[in-house]
A = this chain, B = another copy of it.
Amino acid sequence: MATIAEVAARAGVGAGTVSRVLNHSPKVSETTRARVQAAIAELGYRPNPLAQGLSRGRCRTLGVVVPYFTTPSPVERLRGVAAALDGAQHDLVIFNVESVAHRDDFLGTLDRRDRADGLLLMSFPPPPADLARIVTAGVPVVLVDAVAEGVSSVVVDDVAGGRMATEHLLGLGHERIAFIGGDPDEPLGFTSADDRELGFRQAMADAGVEVDESLVRYGTHAREVAVAIAKDLLRQAAPPTAVFATADVQALGVIEAVRSLGRHVPDDLSVIGFDDIELSAYVGLTTVRQPLFESGQLATRLLLEALAGDTTPTVHVHELPLEVVVRSTTGPRPPGGGPT
């Protein structure tokens, strides 16, 4: 691989001049520029990114710290990231988090510009101390699906989303509505499900419908867990007529459980989820759609802007819209279902 010195020698100029041509500096005469470019072409020269990085103090890299990056919603968000990154001069580095140790590992070492030019923290609340260190180190950060002081973020209003889902069910006449939230022992401390629960309770209260606490459950996103919860709910003396699951993957588990018990969705049980992952459209799941793709895309754009402009952009919380997508897993309360 040719070096800048060889190019310089061949073009009969100094290394500095080659660098200037490379970086489109205006202070190079046309004739010199042409000579240098010819030399570059002849030698097939491409600058060493490591050397550039060392010299410039950055590394043409965008880091995405994301839990379980192969699960449906992170994947959708990453699609957006990749789309926004297309053509940009940055490599996409994925830091896959599957435990607190992972998270701390990454967050502990990413507080420097030579590790990543910018950071996208996705779907988990970063420990304030870590975040502060990273920001102080001058690494631009954008949060997705999380908020923190002093950092831009892309979010949805999960409380409103919880309300929307619940109101949809209430509007269909349901009153015995079960709720399935996230795993309370989740070590990474996801909070969206909690906010959605808040919205659920608000909507119920506003409608004057009491929440039956025996219908409020929590579980991980593993399908079997949702299946088990749903089976248990349906076997109760007074089963719910509808379920609001705070994640589509859970809602799909619920549907599976209903079927395995020989019951039908939505006749025996209405099911609404949250996210609108790709699978949901296929299955016909009614859900609260959040713009996953767009969240990744927007966050990446914000980050790229922060990298491009030398002026620090204003910190802002970007809120993306939610929307109930009615498909075929919710329907009116069955005649006999629950109290009138």
Contacts and interface: CB of A to CB of B under 8 A. Distances in A.
Interface of A: 1, 46, 48-51, 53-54, 59, 61, 69-70, 75-76, 78-79, 82, 86, 91-96, 98, 102, 109, 112, 114-115, 137, 223, 252, 256, 279, 282
Nearest to A112: B1
A208 to B, nearest CB: 38
Contacts of A91: 93, 95
Top 9 A-B residue pairs of the complex, sorted by shortest distance between their CB atoms: A70-B79, A50-B54, A50-B53, A82-B96, A50-B114, A70-B75, A92-B94, A91-B93, A48-B114
A339 to B, nearest CB: 34
A137 B44 CA distance: 14
Contact of A92 (B78, B79, B93): B93
A339 B86 CA distance: 52
Nearest to A64: B94
A94 B63 CA distance: 11
Nearest to A53: B50
Nearest to A281: B223
B93 A49 contact: no
Contacts of A92: 93-96
6 contacts: A48-B112, A48-B114, A50-B50, A51-B114, A69-B78, A75-B75
A223 B279 CA distance: 12
A256 B210 CA distance: 40
A79 B71 CA distance: 9
Contacts of A50: 50, 53-54, 59, 114
Nearest to A108: B46
A118 to B, nearest CB: 15
A91 B115 CA distance: 10
A16 B294 CA distance: 49
